[in-house]
């Protein structure tokens, strides 16, 4: 079957009409003689999306008009027992209410069929109100000013029955500026077993399973969507072809509330524009790779916020001897956009690498020691943009020494309350960055192009100075150590800390990695030996533990 859209693989990693996911990096700062570009990972090839003229809404001059309240067979379709079956290529304009029935497209495999919903309401108790059994491509158009409703009944075993508000076996396009409300009491909201492409419309979906699903891909140019689902909000699940199984968002205004993952892909999730708010989710955005080059993204998750995984789990990061080889496939990379993550699990979690090369990334992590605001099996590099991570120091991952951009880490023994205002100021009192925190915290990692090596900056909480920290160090009041050492011990472990840890008396960890939650409590003392290791005297990063330990 001819695929929609045309997919090209280019090593330049450009997406047509979208921001560049390119590989140009600034040179590293004075803290090293090596350039990041020399050691830059070879990023995986990404698909190029090419939008076609027929993807966009156009006025219909000719078409077959079907009144759902006065059914009779006509040109290109039959009507029998409240089931309208379209068998020929063409444009069909549906109007009126069908309180118990459905529309089925069963045309030739080479046919293109357009369904125009002109104030249409269809309910089908035990099947999909619109189902495409056979065609090359089906377009659902929503004319301006129209209100359209599709719904099915509860009680269908959708685990073993294909059912949705719209169900298509071929490529499905939705365009226009009208409204569409899909109430899928059984199954998915809108589902294509090929590609699902959206270039317009105001769409509200409530689904017993997933909201939008395209097996080969979900591609969004521009849509105003509000998705409420029990399953994933947006999902692409082709795990047989490495070039497919992706979610691509270029524009629009999308809001998702789900009991499962907000956006999930077997392959890649690519966002380069628009507004994406995941108001409620288990995991916010998950894919084998997550590429963000633009847009405004807000994620709230009860588990991980951003997650890159190849399905092997965190054990890979602990025991694999080949994580660097896999980094081109499994990664989180941000080159632009404004990303805010609020997560009770790991804020950002990658089974490969994490790279911030532009944009803004703010992570509000958990307030217990079981997870961290950053977790990666490979390196965490910063070569552009602004980063602020807020959470606990228990699972600390610091930026890699290969990063071209300066960072600092500040940690304290005492916890500060959620809702506090955190500010980073320079020596002249100018505010470089400011954010309100979500929950209690005792650690902040900050990076910006405005930071200069060995220059002192000041951490303010609720307009009160709590620390002075030099860029390129980690500090806890009175102590600091130079040179960041990458991820946790290189592969899955935290780096060894200098004597005294983050300054002062090393605290003792509580049982099971949890911290006391009483307001005003401090972190108890560390086990004997603290974080281990000693302070290098030559300015180099602390020695890492043996590989894979």
In the predicted model, is pLDDT for residue 295 greater than 50? Answer: yes
Contacts of 284 (CB under 8 A, 6+ apart): 261, 262, 263, 278, 299, 300, 301, 304, 305, 306, 307, 341, 343
CB 464 within 8 A of CB 425: no
The CA-CA-CA angle for residues 386, 390, 393, to 5°, reads 125
Question: H or E segment at 192?
Answer: strand 188-192
Cβ neighbour number for residue 12 with a 10 Å cutoff: 11
Helix, strand, or coil here: 512? helix
| Of 498 and 187, the one with more pLDDT | 187
The pLDDT score that the predictor gives to residue 43 is: 66
Ranges 200-214, 251-265, 305-319: which has the least confidence: 305-319
Task: Please tell me the distance from the alpha carbon of residue 361 to that of residue 442, in angstroms, as a whole number.
Answer: 19
Instruction: Tell me how far apart the 2 most distant CA atoms of the chain are, in Å.
Output: 88
How far is residue 511 CA from its own chain's centroid? 33
- Average pLDDT, stretch 186-204? 98
Cα R_g (the chain), whole angstroms: 26
The pLDDT score that the predictor gives to residue 42 is: 57
Task: Please tell me the distance from the alpha carbon of residue 448 to that of residue 440, in angstroms, as a whole number.
Answer: 23
- Average pLDDT, stretch 58-76? 95
The pLDDT score that the predictor gives to residue 47 is: 76
Structure tokens at 450: 């405005």
| Of 236 and 310, the one with more pLDDT | 236
- Average pLDDT, stretch 352-358? 97
CB 262 within 8 A of CB 256: yes
In the predicted model, is pLDDT for residue 530 greater than 80? Answer: no
The pLDDT score that the predictor gives to residue 515 is: 32
Task: Please tell me the distance from the alpha carbon of residue 111 to that of residue 139, in angstroms, as a whole number.
Answer: 11
Task: Please tell me the distance from the alpha carbon of residue 371 to that of residue 310, in angstroms, as a whole number.
Answer: 20
In the predicted model, is pLDDT for residue 326 greater than 90? Answer: no
Between the CA atoms of 63, 68, 72 and 77, what dihedral angle is there, to the nearest 10 degrees? 50
Give residue-wise pLDDT tens across range 367-418: 988 899 999 999 999 999 999 999 999 888 999 999 999 999 999 999 999 9
Q: For residue 323, give the DSSP letter.
A: H
The pLDDT score that the predictor gives to residue 514 is: 36
- 36 φ, ψ to 5°? -65, -35
In the predicted model, is pLDDT for residue 204 greater than 90? Answer: yes
pLDDT classification of 76: cutoffs 50, 70, 90: very high
Give residue-wise pLDDT tens across range 313-324: 544 444 333 444
- Average pLDDT, stretch 415-443? 98
In the chain, where the domains are located: 61-270, 283-549
- Average pLDDT, stretch 241-251? 96
- Residues belonging to the chain: 549
Helix, strand, or coil here: 343? strand
Looking from the CA of 392 toward its CB, the CA atoms found within 13 Å total: 23
pLDDT classification of 532: cutoffs 50, 70, 90: very low
- Average pLDDT, stretch 23-43? 37
Whole-prediction pTM? 0.82
Task: Please tell me the distance from the alpha carbon of residue 133 to that of residue 450, in angstroms, as a whole number.
Answer: 57
pLDDT classification of 335: cutoffs 50, 70, 90: very high
pLDDT classification of 239: cutoffs 50, 70, 90: very high
DSSP bridge pairs for 86: 77, 105
Q: For residue 325, give the DSSP letter.
A: H
Q: What is the DSSP track for 245-311?
A: SEEEE-S-EEEEEESS-SEEESSEEEEEEEEEEEEE-SSSEEESEEEEEEEEEEEEESS-SEEE--S
Task: Please tell me the distance from the alpha carbon of residue 116 to that of residue 94, in angstroms, as a whole number.
Answer: 6
pLDDT classification of 48: cutoffs 50, 70, 90: confident
Q: What is the DSSP track for 8-24?
A: EEETT---TTS------
Calculate the average pLDDT of the chain. Answer: 82
The pLDDT score that the predictor gives to residue 220 is: 99
The share of the chain scoring above pLDDT 90, in percent, equals 70
The pLDDT score that the predictor gives to residue 312 is: 62
Helix, strand, or coil here: 531? coil
pLDDT classification of 328: cutoffs 50, 70, 90: low
Write out 116-171 in H/E/C secondary structure.
Answer: EEEEEEEEECCCCCEEEEECCEEEEEECCCCEEEEEECCCCCCCCCCCEEEEECCE
Task: Please tell me the distance from the alpha carbon of residue 211 to that of residue 233, in angstroms, as a whole number.
Answer: 5
Give residue-wise pLDDT tens across range 104-142: 999 999 999 999 999 999 999 999 999 999 999 999 999
In the predicted model, is pLDDT for residue 235 greater than 50? Answer: yes
Task: Please tell me the distance from the alpha carbon of residue 124 to that of residue 101, in angstroms, as a whole number.
Answer: 5
In the predicted model, is pLDDT for residue 486 greater than 60? Answer: no
Instruction: Say if residue 337 is preceded by a cis peptide, omega within 30 of 0.
Output: no
The share of the chain scoring above pLDDT 70, in percent, equals 75
pLDDT classification of 473: cutoffs 50, 70, 90: confident
In the predicted model, is pLDDT for residue 73 greater than 90? Answer: yes
In the predicted model, is pLDDT for residue 465 greater than 60? Answer: yes
């Amino acid at each position: 079957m001819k695929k929609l859209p045309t997919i090209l693989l280019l090593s330049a990693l450009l997406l047509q009409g979208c921001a560049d996911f390119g590989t140009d990096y600034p040179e590293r700062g004075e803290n090293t003689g090596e350039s990041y570009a020399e050691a830059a990972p070879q990023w995986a090839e990404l698909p190029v999306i090419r939008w076609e003229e027929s993807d966009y809404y156009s006025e219909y001059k000719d078409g077959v008009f079907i009144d759902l309240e006065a059914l009779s067979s006509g040109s290109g379709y039959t009507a029998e027992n409240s089931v309208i079956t379209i068998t020929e290529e063409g444009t069909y304009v549906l109007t009126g209410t069908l309180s118990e029935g459905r529309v089925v497209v069963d045309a030739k495999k080479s046919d293109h069929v357009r369904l125009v919903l002109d104030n249409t309401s269809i309910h089908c108790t035990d099947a999909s109100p619109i189902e495409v059994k056979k065609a090359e491509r089906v377009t659902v158009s929503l004319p301006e000013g129209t209100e359209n409703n599709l719904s099915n009944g509860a009680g269908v075993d959708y685990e073993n029955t294909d059912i949705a508000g719209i169900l298509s076996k071929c490529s499905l396009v939705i365009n226009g500026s009208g409204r569409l409300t899909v109430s899928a009491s059984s199954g998915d909201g809108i589902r294509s077993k090929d590609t699902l492409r959206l270039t317009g419309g105001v769409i509200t979906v409530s689904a017993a399973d997933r909201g939008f699903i395209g097996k080969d891909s979900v591609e969004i140019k521009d849509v105003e969507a509000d998705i409420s689902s029990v399953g994933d909000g947006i999902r692409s699940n082709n795990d047989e072809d490495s070039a497919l199984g992706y979610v691509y968002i270029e524009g629009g205004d999308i809001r998702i509330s789900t009991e499962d993952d907000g956006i999930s892909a077997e392959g890649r999730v690519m966002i380069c524009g628009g507004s994406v708010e995941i108001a409620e989710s288990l995991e916010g955005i998950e894919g084998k790779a997550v590429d963000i080059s633009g847009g405004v993204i807000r994620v709230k998750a009860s588990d991980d916020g951003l997650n890159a995984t190849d399905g092997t789990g965190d054990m890979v990061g602990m025991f694999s001897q080949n994580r660097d080889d896999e980094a081109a496939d499994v990664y989180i990379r941000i080159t632009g956009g404004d990303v805010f993550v609020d997560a009770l699990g790991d804020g950002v979690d990658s089974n490969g690498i994490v790279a911030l090369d532009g944009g803004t990334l703010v992570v509000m992590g958990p307030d217990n020691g079981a997870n961290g605001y950053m977790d990666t099996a490979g390196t965490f590099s910063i070569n552009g943009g602004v980063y602020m991570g807020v959470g606990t120091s228990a699972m600390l991952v610091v930026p890699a020494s290969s990063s071209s951009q300066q960072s600092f880490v500040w940690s304290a023994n005492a916890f500060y309350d959620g809702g506090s205002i955190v500010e980073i100021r320079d020596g002249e009192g100018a505010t470089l960055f400011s954010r309100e925190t979500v929950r209690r915290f005792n650690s902040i990692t900050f990076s910006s192009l405005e930071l200069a090596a060995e220059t002192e900056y000041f951490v303010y909480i609720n307009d009160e100075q709590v620390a002075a920290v030099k860029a390129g160090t980690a500090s806890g009041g009175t102590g600091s150590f130079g040179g960041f050492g990458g991820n946790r011990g290189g592969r899955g472990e935290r780096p060894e800390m200098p004597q005294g840890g983050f300054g002062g008396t090393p605290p003792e960890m509580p049982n099971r990695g949890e911290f006391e939650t009483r307001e005003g409590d401090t972190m108890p003392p560390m086990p004997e030996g603290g974080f281990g290791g000693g302070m290098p005297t030559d300015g180099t990063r602390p020695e890492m533990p043996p590989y894979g330990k």
